[in-house]
Amino acid sequence: MRKDVILSVKDLSVSFRMYDRGLEQYDLQVISNLTLDVRPGEIVAIAGSSGSGKSLLAHAVMGLLPGNATISGEITYQGKVINQKQKEQLRGKELALVPQSVAYLDPLMRVDVQVRGAKPDQQIVQAQKEIFRRFHLDEKTEKLYPFQLSGGMARRILVSTAVLSGAQVIIADEPTPGLDLEMALEALKIFRELADEGKAVILITHDIDLAFHIADRIAVFYAGTTVEMAAAQDFIKGPKALRHPYSKALWEALPQNGFKPIPGFQPYARNLPKGCLFSPRCPHKTAECEKIIPMTEVRGGYVRCIHAD
């Protein structure tokens, strides 16, 4: 691990205790050996299709997994492994989440209290007014309750809350759906400014095209694991600069690159293939792909593929 990493996730696995017919139980492993790290001053974007484990990673870091979840691996903040209790202590202070759902707003709390706390100092009030202005939120918005907000307003308030928390690490889980392009770009600009001020930002997004242009590095998730971590530049350059067949396929599936779909489906957690999770869809598959595949360094990035060069 490089010294200046502020948050790192190593070999994270998450499974849920599930009930089948009758009293039969089984464990559904939804995240396997996932790795990720972020440094102050950078935005790491997480790309990956629906169900690839992006939100669960955020919840695991924040200590927000439900009671039937079992977690293994290490989550490190400022060089120290953090447990559930420490995550709860850091949450909202050092580590802030912009949740994927606007349902996370407290329905009984007025917007102003929600965003800046009950007894804010003058500096926070000023900062809140400034960010509301940038997000085109009228001053009257401060006195509203969540049910009086549109989806887009609620989203902008969630982003504002995380920004004003003063946290060192911000995980934004799909912060832009429901926002028009101007507001989405404003939100991304705010994340960029936070990173430039020295905060670490993890940006989960479906809009990989926007992410390429604002992030420093990209992590690609597939079926609950990281398959590649690379400079955002590599994703702008395209398949030759990328390392994992899935990252290359994601690039080719972008509208501007021909919209070529990837045949097959992301495997369901109950039915994971042996070894490489992408192997059933991979044109380069060999017998060795059924072994456990570690992340390795290739051309300055990290990839989970034995055929990458």
Ligand X SMILES: Nc1ncnc2c1ncn2[C@@H]1O[C@H](COP(=O)(O)OP(=O)(O)OP(=O)(O)O)[C@@H](O)[C@H]1O
53 binds, among Ni ion, ligand X, none (CB under 5 to 8 A by kind): ligand X
| 190 contributes a contact to ligand X by CB under 6 A | no
Which is closer to ligand X, CB of 51 or CB of 275?
A: 51
| 218 contributes a contact to ligand X by CB under 6 A | no
| Piece of the chain touching ligand X by CB under 6 A; list 52-60, 80-88, 150-158, 186-194 | 52-60
Rounded least distance, CB 100 to Ni ion, Å: 5
Sign of the dihedral through C-alpha 153, 173, 271, 251: positive
Question: How many residues sit close enough to ligand X to count as binding (CB under 6 A)?
Answer: 14
| Piece of the chain touching ligand X by CB under 6 A; list 44-52, 72-80, 162-170, 226-234 | 44-52
Which is closer to ligand X, CB of 269 or CB of 282?
A: 269
Which is closer to Ni ion, CB of 54 or CB of 244?
A: 54
| 55 contributes a contact to Ni ion by CB under 5 A | yes
d(C-alpha 208, C-alpha 218), whole Å: 9
| 247 contributes a contact to ligand X by CB under 6 A | no
| Piece of the chain touching ligand X by CB under 6 A; list 47-55, 138-146, 277-285, 301-309 | 47-55
| 308 contributes a contact to ligand X by CB under 6 A | no
| 266 contributes a contact to Ni ion by CB under 5 A | no
| 226 contributes a contact to ligand X by CB under 6 A | no
| Piece of the chain touching Ni ion by CB under 5 A; list 9-17, 96-104, 176-184, 254-262 | 96-104
Query: According to CB under 6 A, which one of 32, 35, 52, 160 is a site residue for ligand X?
Result: 52
Rounded least distance, CB 50 to Ni ion, Å: 7
| 269 contributes a contact to ligand X by CB under 6 A | yes
66 binds, among Ni ion, ligand X, none (CB under 5 to 8 A by kind): ligand X
The 3-state secondary structure of the chain, one letter per residue: CCCCCCEEEEEEEEEEEEECCCCCEEEEEEEEEEEEEECCCCEEEEECCCCCCHHHHHHHHHCCCCCCEEEEEEEEECCEECCHHHHHHHECCCEEEECCCHHHCCCCCCHHHHHHCCCCCHHHHHHHHHHHHHCCCCHHHHHCCHHHCCHHHHHHHHHHHHHHCCCCEEEEECCCCCCCHHHHHHHHHHHHHHHHCCCEEEEECCCHHHHHHHCCEEEEEECCEEEEEEEHHHHHHCCCCCCCHHHHHHHHCCHHHCCCCCCCCCCCHHHCCCCCCCHHHCCCCCHHHHCCCCCEEECCEEECCCCCC
Residues 100-139 touching ligand X, rule: CB under 6 A, are 100
d(C-alpha 30, C-alpha 13), whole Å: 8
Binding site for ligand X (CB under 6 A): 16, 28, 30, 48, 50-56, 66, 100, 269
